[in-house]
Amino acid sequence: MVKTAKNKKVSQTDLTGRRGKGIMEEDRRSKLSKQMMKDALTELMKTKSIHEISVKRLCETADVNRSTFYRYYSSPYDLYDEIIEDVSRDLISLTEATPPGPHRLRAVLTQVLTYVERQRPLMLVLLSSNGDLNIGERMSNFVSRFTPGYVDTEFARYCTQFITAGLISITWLWLNQEDRKSPREMAAMLSVMLLHGVKRAMTISGSQPG
């Protein structure tokens, strides 16, 4: 037992519980602040390139202090990278949660496109010219995870880059249409494109060592 300033006896369990609640409250505030800054960056990038956004403007939009920003990030690029990492982690989780089977590619694409549509404002920003031009390279790493028969060779990397560029362009076009197909319909169409394209490319690659 310990005594407080008012000489009330407090058990160690009570103190531990209070500390735990304090940590949880701090974690909640941290997540809220970071989400406010992420939302602010997304809003600003609708009209400005990531290269044109200052910490000052970002903090004004998010209604947070500069000290709060620098507690978590060193620049808007760091914040942008965390947003990309959040999206990448979500997409990887979706692919890993999809069970194997003859229609796994279509199932993965349906899950991914459903997620993308739900995150439409953010995805339009990330896929626009206002984002990081290296987004294609980042996405190619994701694409290679569910490309049928993928082996890390030079030819396979060319195929992956080709597929990634196509997926980015198609997704951008799809998201910009008000009367767009459902994620399931898009997944069915894309799976046909990808499977036929990849199968044919793998046949060609058999005579072209990587």
Q: Is residue 2 part of a domain?
A: no
Give the tens place of pLDDT for each residue, 188-200.
888 888 777 655 5
Domain of residue 121, residue span? 83-210
Instruction: Indicate whether 119 and 27 sit together in one domain.
Output: no
For residues 91 and 65, membership in a common domain is answered with: no
What would the pLDDT profile of 9-33 be if each residue is shown by its tens digit?
556 665 455 555 656 677 888 899 9
**Sign of the C-alpha dihedral, residues 43, 86, 193, 185?**
negative
Claim to verify: residue 111 and residue 180 sit in the same structural domain: yes
Ordered per-residue pLDDT tens for the chain, 210 residues: 545 555 555 566 654 555 556 566 778 888 999 999 999 999 999 999 999 999 999 999 999 999 999 999 999 999 999 999 899 889 888 888 888 888 888 899 999 999 999 999 999 998 888 876 566 666 776 776 666 555 678 887 787 888 888 888 889 999 999 999 999 999 988 888 877 765 554 554 554 433
**CATH number of the domain where residue 102 is located:** 1.10.357
Q: Is the pTM of this model over 0.85?
A: no
Q: Which of 117, 102, 119, 32 is nearest to 68 (CA)?
A: 32
Amino acid letter for position 133: L
Instruction: Give the residue from 74, 104, 122 where a domain finishes.
Output: 74
68 and 134 in a single domain? The answer is no
Note whether residue 158 is domain-resident.
yes
Q: How many domains does the chain have?
A: 2
Please choose, from the candidates 148, 154, 156, 151, the residue with its C-alpha nearest in 3D space to the C-alpha of residue 199. 148
